[in-house]
Structure 1
């Protein structure tokens, strides 16, 4: 038993000593090599997620259309519409779902009189709201890079999770 414990302890101490760190220490700076590795990882992940989302779309009865910002929406020509200007107020709400169509939070996220250019929101949500009409509802299919990315939301959403967002302009 002592021999097994000793071997386990030695193997734990020796494993991954030279493995690159994913994030710098507090106050640290990533090297150019680390930045390149991260960029390549996100590029590969985005390619994989786009393929998975396309596969998911083919099994749906609703038609989804790609946008220039790299997400899909239920309205054709969506990001060709007139774009709302910065400082324009908008009220909105949205629900988040995973691709099993399970609702992630019980209550929708809601904001009243938010102003474009001053959002603290997901990139895809802010971008979509710029093209929505008042009272309109759309569904967005969003890769993780435009959702909560590498870190998740540190609550219910893990890292690298693409989302379905049901968005309403109130």
Structure 2
């Protein structure tokens, strides 16, 4: 009897010690949402860039330049003597206004007042942050930003809505080099 009890215990012990099985997910996600989102964003960018290109083609009065980061601009007032542009950490003061591609004013220069900004160390929308780095003191530049270079999907939680391409006219007043502000 004891032998049978030991054998049963041994069989029970060996059968209960199996390796754990991996749990399978209930729902299997395929990543199609991300693929669809990428497709929608590419289509939106293409439409916005086509609208901007149409504005550029219809404006023979200005010589538009394309930036390396995906926006277009022209100089209203250009400094051909100085070679100094703001770099990381420099402090700039500037004024600007914001309109949509149809020319409707969103923010005036008076509403926005003079902005003091430390290059790449403070918050500013991507296109304007990159555009300021192209400017020299005293220059006036008009930028055309697709929405992904402006406020994108979120807008500014005030007057600029979702996926709105923008035109900004910017005047760079001063550039103060970082090295002179730290001494």
Give the length in aligned residue pairs: 137
Equivalent pair of 1:99/1:164 in contact (CA under 8 Å): yes
Equivalent pair of 2:93/2:115 in contact (CA under 8 Å): yes
Counterparts of 1:93-132 in structure 2, within 5 Å, are 93-106=95-108, 107-132=110-135
Tell me the TM-score normalised to structure 1 length: 0.71
User: Which position in structure 1 is the counterpart of 2:3?
Assistant: none
Counterparts of 1:5-154 in structure 2, within 5 Å, are 32-60=31-59, 61-75=61-75, 84-106=86-108, 107-154=110-157
In structure 1, the gaps of 5 or more residues are 1-30
Which aligned runs of 4 or more in structure 1 are off by greater than 6 angstroms? Answer: none
1-structure distance, mates of 2:115, 2:89? 14
Max Rg structure:
2
Equivalent pair of 2:142/2:169 in contact (CA under 8 Å): yes
Tell me the TM-score normalised to structure 2 length: 0.66
In structure 2, the gaps of 5 or more residues are 1-29, 174-183
Query: Alpha-carbon deviations, 1:87-111, whole Å to 9, x = none?
Result: 1111112100111212112434345
2-structure distance, mates of 1:86, 1:50? 28
Equivalent pair of 2:85/2:136 in contact (CA under 8 Å): no
Equivalent pair of 2:93/2:117 in contact (CA under 8 Å): yes
Equivalent pair of 2:86/2:136 in contact (CA under 8 Å): no
Shift of 1:49: 0.8
User: Which position in structure 2 is the counterpart of 1:28?
Assistant: none
